[in-house]
Amino acid sequence: MRSLKNGVLEDQDFELYRDHKNILREDIFKLDSLSDYTQVEPLGKFVRIRYDRQHWSKIVFDKNFIIDDYGNFSPTTAMTFSGFMGFSRISKMVPLNYQINI
């Protein structure tokens, strides 16, 4: 989520797909950066994501959401993860108050 917020998906080896075609972030997300968070409006019902050219995931969107500077998103019911992100997400999460240099 932090890569989406910061506009560095490609730099972090993420690729977005819709209908088996590689798409740009702007094709699926409308971002509005505010002082403490970024408002995200999905422009479709789902997106497929390939990470590091080998790990596939799918995110199904239910509603708009926000992302804070740490990559936390709210509301947590705004989307559902499946595939690689769905299986590995919980084990890689850190507490909401985890501090990083941003």
Write out pLDDT tens, residues 15-38: 999 999 999 999 999 999 998 899
Is residue 81 included in any domain, yes or no?
yes
Residue owning tokens 């995110």: 59
Encode pLDDT of 51-83 as tens digits.
999 999 999 999 999 999 888 899 989 999 998
Helix (H) or strand (E) holding 88: helix 84-92
Is residue 77 included in any domain, yes or no?
yes
Mean pLDDT across the stretch 40-49? 96
Residue 99: is its pLDDT beyond 90?
no
Is residue 73 included in any domain, yes or no?
yes
Residue owning tokens 């819709």: 18
Count up the domains in the chain and report the number: 1
Q: Which band of pLDDT confidence, cut at 50, 70 and 90, is reported for residue 84?
A: confident
Tokens at residue 10, please? Answer: 């490609």
Is residue 37 included in any domain, yes or no?
yes
What is the predicted pLDDT for the residue at 95? 55
Is residue 58 included in any domain, yes or no?
yes
Is residue 98 included in any domain, yes or no?
no
What is the predicted pLDDT for the residue at 70? 84
Is residue 100 included in any domain, yes or no?
no
SS (H, E, C) 39-77: EEEECCCEEEEEECCCEEEEEEECCCEEEECCCCEECHH
Is residue 97 included in any domain, yes or no?
no
Tokens at residue 81, please? Answer: 């993860």
For 31, the domain range is 2-92
What is the predicted pLDDT for the residue at 83? 87
